[in-house]
A and B are shown apart, each in its own frame.
Chain A
Amino acid sequence: MMQTRSKKNAWLAFLAVLAFLALIFVLDQIIKPTDRLGMLLIVLQKGAVYALAAVSMNLLNGYTGLFSLGHAGFMLLGAYTYAIFTIPDKSRDAVYQYYDAAVRFSIPEQLSRHMGGFGTALGILIALILAGAVAALLAWLIGLPVLRLKSDYLAIATLGFAEIIRALFQWSKLGPITNGSNLLKNFARASKFKLEIAGAKLSLSTFVPVLIATVSITLIVLIVNSTYGRAFKAIRDDEIAAEAMGINLAKHKMIAFVTSSFFAGVSGATLAMVLSIAQANNFKSAMTYEILLMVVLGGIGSITGSVIGSFLFVAASEWWLRGLDSGKFLGIEAPNIFRNGFRLVVFSVIIMIVVLFFRQGIMGEKELPDLFRKKKKTPAKEAES
């Protein structure tokens, strides 16, 4: 009976996700970016990117108990890898103004020559996977020395690695690849994604980032609920017991770190796709801190929590609290107080309140389906006894 129930739940979850994606697709068509509700699209795009970043961080910090602060660095790697391999031939020299571009190969463009529109899509997918793979490869190299370190030392060492990567990508000698401290642009970006069916052009600029995030988060959920996910939790709860029960700590920490970094790389690539630019200077430790705060807001150890936390974070800071920056909020006009930057102050106060007084965050360690399940379970239990 347990089997059938979990199968049913899996189907329900699958259908819910499908319905959500369909809704996004429809929104993408009916809302124009210039509309009053255009902000919603931006929130959905950025929210999806940060949701993936937060969930991948949660896999490491929340589920495996490894406090790593290198996320921005891995996102940077993903963003650059994606950007470099999708800049079309004709724009390359304009992008690399001061350097002689070393990578002269756009994956989507090459594939589209043979396969048309499908080739473009496939090329973007390959570039995304490559973005994740580069981040994962570096995580593996970094992981060898730093994963042996204890909690705070790991945090500071990973933070340091992110800073080293950022400096390296801005180094003029690497300019032919990274464009030095100048930004990368004109690569395959979300605002240009269109689907042509029978002459009608359908916008995919919100749908694609949301789809990437959904698929990636689903993969993370599958990992978390597998035997490996349980091993990660065992390491978090009690490392010594986990090792005594035959879990190879070095190996499993590495798996968690590399997997988390892979998805961080994908989220970085998606961020570049959404923002239409990639610049090393945007991937500072402040970005890691913001993602961490999203995880905390949603509840450390809850994946749906991280998703909700990210969307709330993005919506609040980009949209709902906008009025705090522009003179008028909730009908109150006070241009002297509600001026540039006030939104972020209010926002950080809210976050401090969550950190101090609602330490469980929105979801604690629960997942969204748990909330529905609880209600049904109680009467069933009474009936049993």
Chain B
Amino acid sequence: MNVLKTTLPYIISGISVGGQYALIAIGYTMVYGILRLINFAHGDVFMVAGLMMVYLAASLPLYLAIPLVILLTVLLGFTIERVAYKPLRTAPRMSVMISAIGVSYLLQNLALYITGGLNKNYPQIPWISDRISIFGMETSRVTVITPFLTIILVIVLVQLINHTKIGMAMRAVSRDFETSQLMGIQINRVISATFIIGTFLAAVGSILFFTNYPGVVPTSGAMPGLKAFVAAVFGGIGSIPGAVIGAFIIGVAESVIKGLDTILVVNGVISEQIGLATFSDAFTFVLLIIILVFKPTGLFGEKSTDKV
């Protein structure tokens, strides 16, 4: 009972963080499914969304700032694809990946220039930032909302992919890029749509994520971005439910490890803090390597064989 009581708060905040990662992870997994590209810039787009919120909320009321942030983020994602990835459509995959790293570098440096490297305080969003108490513990409302909002968005997205024309085109393109092109699917429209959906979810994710954190710095996007990507790989890249489940697992694991010292001390397993929280980020990668070694295609990934 004591174990549960000490662990539960970490699990709940972990589920919330997992939901935020899930929203970013979907962008990774969809883009990878279609372009076979690790979009290294995705985490930075997420950070830019956070910064835009900081600046826009300073001069506009929130009910205007929030939609505007989402709109501008989507525009950014769309533009990045058109400028940095589209010209490399026929280039080797390594070139596109390098271009993605270049965009990530540019966005971070741009953010550094604009903010002067200072921590920018994220605006308080009424209602969702409010403190509430559940199961006798104090937390903010956003922690509770996030997982539900995530699930709703994912259900809508899955419906979109399964039942609309553009969704069908996406599935076709991710299965076989060239054949879909020959069948008359307009590849560029499908890819743009993928980036638009991906960045939309990242923008929503950024609002939920940064509300729980004191502020935004230029490197704020790097770690959540990497973790979300790991979540996508963990779940089986290309699979949306996989990415979401992977994200929740990683979010919970991260949060529990952050509190593992306290949990172990309270339950008398160890007598003093041993600094395991240092590994909260690294553990994500331990999970990644374990899954890659034992099931390289992830939990829900499909196997592919090379033809000789």
Contact = CB atoms under 8 A, between A and B. Distances in A.
Contact of B105 (A145, A342, A351, A359): A351
B292 A340 contact: no
A149 interface: yes
Interface in B80-121: 83-84, 87-88, 91, 93-95, 97-99, 101-106, 108-110, 112-114, 116-117
B117 A352 contact: no
Contact of B109 (A161, A172, A240, A341): A341
A352 B84 contact: yes
A316 interface: no
Contacts of B114: 341
B116 A163 contact: no
A296 interface: yes
B101 A293 contact: yes
Given A67-B94, A67-B97, A293-B101, A157 B292 contact: yes
Contact of B98 (A167, A292, A339): A292
A176 interface: no
A100 interface: no
Contacts of A146: 289, 292-293
Contacts of B32: 152
Interface in B272-304: 274-275, 278-279, 281-282, 284-286, 288-289, 292-293, 296
A38 to B, nearest CB: 25
Contact of B288 (A157, A240, A339): A157
A192 B8 CA distance: 55
A284 B226 CA distance: 12
Interface residues of B, number: 50
B274 to A, nearest CB: 6
B233 interface: yes
A339 B116 CA distance: 9
Contact of A163 (B117, B282, B308): B282
A356 B275 contact: no
A348 B109 contact: yes
Nearest to A353: B102
A151 to B, nearest CB: 7
Contact of B113 (A166, A167, A345, A355): A345
Given A240-B308, A355-B98, A356-B84, A172 B278 contact: yes
B97 A170 contact: no
A143 to B, nearest CB: 12
A156 B233 CA distance: 9
B94 A151 contact: yes
B110 A164 contact: no
B112 A344 contact: yes
B275 A172 contact: yes
Contacts of A340: 113, 116-117
Contacts of B219: 286
A373 B118 CA distance: 52
A275 B268 CA distance: 44
B122 interface: no
A347 B109 contact: yes
Given A145-B293, A344-B109, A161 B275 contact: no
A242 to B, nearest CB: 13
B159 to A, nearest CB: 29
A107 B103 CA distance: 44
The listed residue with most B CB atoms (<10 A of its CB), out of A67, A173, A355, is A355
B279 A173 contact: no
A163 B226 CA distance: 10
A349 interface: yes
B102 A351 contact: yes
Interface in B248-278: 274-275, 278
B292 A345 contact: no
A285 B38 contact: no
A174 B168 CA distance: 53
B141 interface: no
Contact of B97 (A150, A152, A160, A172): A152
Contact of A153 (B104, B106, B110, B296): B296
Nearest to A346: B109
B203 interface: no
Contact of A293 (B36, B88, B105, B282): B105
Interface string B50-86: 0000000000000000000000000000000001100
B218 to A, nearest CB: 9
Contacts of B142: none
A168 interface: yes
Interface string A30-50: 000000000000000000000
Contacts of A145: 289, 292-293
A356 B103 CA distance: 11
Nearest to B32: A152
B222 interface: yes
Nearest to A289: B101
Contact of A167 (B95, B105, B281): B281
B230 interface: yes
A167 B278 CA distance: 6
Contacts of B289: 145-146, 157, 160-161
Contact of A160 (B103, B222, B288): B288
Given A157-B292, A286-B108, 13 more contacts: A156-B38, A163-B281, A164-B282, A164-B285, A170-B278, A171-B275, A172-B275, A293-B101, A300-B94, A344-B113, A352-B102, A355-B84, A359-B95
Interface of A: 61, 67, 145-146, 148-153, 155-157, 159-161, 163-164, 166-168, 170-173, 240, 284-286, 289-290, 292-293, 296, 300, 339-342, 344-345, 347-349, 351-352, 355-356, 359
26 contacts: A145-B289, A151-B94, A152-B93, A153-B292, A153-B296, A157-B285, A159-B285, A160-B288, A161-B289, A163-B282, A163-B285, A168-B279, A286-B108, A289-B101, A289-B105, A300-B94, A340-B117, A341-B117, A345-B106, A345-B109, A345-B113, A349-B106, A352-B84, A352-B99, A352-B102, A355-B99
Interface of B: 32, 36, 38, 83-84, 87-88, 91, 93-95, 97-99, 101-106, 108-110, 112-114, 116-117, 219, 222, 226, 229-230, 233, 274-275, 278-279, 281-282, 284-286, 288-289, 292-293, 296, 306, 308
The 5 closest A-B pairs by CB, nearest first: A160-B285, A341-B113, A167-B282, A172-B275, A344-B109
